[in-house]
Structure 1
Amino acid sequence: MVNIVLVSVLVICVITDIKSRKILNVVTLPTIVFGLTYNLFNTGFDGFLFSGKGFLVGLGLLFIPYILGGIGAGDVKLMAAIGALMGSSFVFYSFIYTALFGGAIALILIIKKKGLSNIIKSTFFNVVFFKCNLGSIILTKDKNSSISFPYGVAIVLGTFYLLVWGGFQ
């Protein structure tokens, strides 16, 4: 039952995040409540603690990136909802896979936008001349050169990967 709810929420969230760059409260907040109540009624107070710890871990993992402006509040709430449904261990490993997928997506987008040869030349120049400003290769102040993508896609890919292929105890 929980897996069906999780898959449904993930599908809805990836669609809305791609279409409108938003993960809707009308999806995430009821999912959090469902996870808490389902686990409470299924296994009692231990289930509520299981779900509550998952919620807090999911919330905590993306809270600092949210505060720094790297991701939106919907991404944080989606990860908290995953934790409320599946527990702290699952959401932690989901976060690890999400970060790997997010990094791969970001790398592909950077290479596509800036060109691999420009990145290699710029990195080589910075290393040879000890500029030690490697962050300028990726992060710039020019709004037109910034690269962003809906991070909900990475969250969904990481969570689906974990759900299908496992990899946590």
Structure 2
Amino acid sequence: MIIIIVLILSLLISLYTDIKNRKILNTVTFPTLIFSFLYHIWTNGFDGFLFSGKGFLTGLCLLIIPYILGGMGAGDVKLMAAIGALMGTSFVFYSFIYTALIGGVIALLLIIKTNGFRNTIKSFFFNVVFLRSNLGSMILAKNKESSISFPYGVAIVLGTLCTLVWGGL
């Protein structure tokens, strides 16, 4: 029960700070990590350490590539790692699946809202019809004026809450 309380408290604080300041604070993720390891070691000894460690590494590895590519902040990665340390490998994996689905829906809605969807489709078909070879540059272009971003912590929180309520897919 204490695990669920710590999880929900960490998620709510992270949700608030990510929406307000676009940051997930270390003062939330690090104490959650420390509590996770200490709690699981206290209750299950070395097996608890392994449980938290595997969850931590799974959460970290799931988001490290998007972070390296510049698609999200370090706070998002640390939050997912803290969720893994607290709840374990299976839980963080399902949270990641829900998070990716929710994040995709949010991104699609933002693209449609800003009329970028129509422009992206037009540009894609233009490149295909005229056999232009810059499809990769069209997709990977980093134009600050046309880029759309949102606090991904929102998707992480919603995905984790979905896992908490519904469990695995």
**Cα deviation code 1:20-43 (max 9, x no counterpart):** 000001100000010111111112
2:73 corresponds to which residue? 72
2:155 corresponds to which residue? 154
CA-based RMSD of the aligned residues comes to 1.7
**Alignment partners' CA distance in 2, 1:141 and 1:30:** 35
2:105 corresponds to which residue? 104
4+ runs deviating over 4 angstroms: 132-139
CA distance 1:101–1:12, shift in 2 (3 Å): same
1:47 corresponds to which residue? 48
Number of residue pairs the alignment of both structures matches? 168
Check the 8 A contact 2:94/2:167 in 1, yes or no: no
Following superposition of structure 1 onto structure 2, how do residues 11-160 of structure 1 map, counting pairs within 5 Å? 11-131=12-132, 133-134=134-135, 139-160=140-161
Please identify, of 5-14 and 120-129, the stretch whose mean Cα deviation from structure 2 is larger. 120-129
Check the 8 A contact 1:139/1:146 in 2, yes or no: no
Cα offset, 1:57, TM superposition: 0.9
**Alignment partners' CA distance in 1, 2:135 and 2:164:** 36
Check the 8 A contact 1:110/1:138 in 2, yes or no: no
CA distance 1:68–1:141, shift in 2 (3 Å): closer
Aligned letter for 1:152?
G
Aligned letter for 2:7?
L
Check the 8 A contact 1:57/1:91 in 2, yes or no: yes
